Amino acid sequence: MLKSTMTSGLLAAVLALVSFAASAQQAPTVRIRGTIESVDGNTLGIKTREGSDVKVKMTDNVAVFAVIKTSLSEVKEGSYIGVTGMPEPDGTQKAIAVHIFPENQRGAAEGFRPWDARANSTMTNATVAQTVKGTDGQNITVKYKDGEKKVVVPPDTPIVTFVASDKSEVKPGAKLIIFGAAKKEDGSLEANRVNVGRDGVTPPM
């Protein structure tokens, strides 16, 4: 009985240690939208959408993507897209922005979740199963691993895509979104990917 109790205790201790190690490895992340105000080496000074000033250090191997305008005609069956939407009473999502993922990012953050573009907004990353012209805009059905959503895309909805780029995009005055800046133990922020609007584009997602 004593041996069994000791074994159980040891197992619990090991599980607790594994759980602690996993949580320690995964730094919390922060989503940042704003305007680049300064670039000092790898450190960005950003005025956030909320009006605060933050500094974010880019990793040495940071991935930089330009966010560029494209058209709804580029959203085709089989496209992998992200829809920033607002829930409608009938259960559909009314798009307020659509971004088209490059093929090598297919499957990124797949699914449906709350989003913070505005109050009550949502994000659906999914594959386009069907697209049909409707009276209010384009009607799109998107499918992800756990389900599907019907989306109405009004004619004036911003449509953008990501293009792999480099640090030349990262300059004062450009608008950016960082989906997940890691918050370090000392409170500093670090990003391994930044998405920068090209030619004055504000990333709409």
For residue 135, what pLDDT is reported?
A: 83
Show Cβ contacts of residue 32 under 8 Å, excluding neighbours closer than 6 positions: 46, 48, 54, 56, 176, 177, 178, 181, 189
For residue 131, what pLDDT is reported?
A: 94
Is 20 strand, coil or helix?
helix
Please provide the DSSP assignment of 88-131 as one string.
-TTS-EEEEEEEEPPGGGTTTT-EEEE--SSTT-EEEEEEEEEE
For residue 25, what pLDDT is reported?
A: 57
Do the strands 147-153 and 138-144 form a parallel or antiparallel pair, or are they unpaired? antiparallel
For residue 161, what pLDDT is reported?
A: 97
Q: What is the pTM of this model?
A: 0.82
For residue 22, what pLDDT is reported?
A: 42
For residue 136, what pLDDT is reported?
A: 83
What averages of pLDDT result for each successive group of 10 residues across the chain (205 residues)? 45 43 65 98 97 97 97 96 97 97 95 96 98 91 96 96 96 97 94 97 96
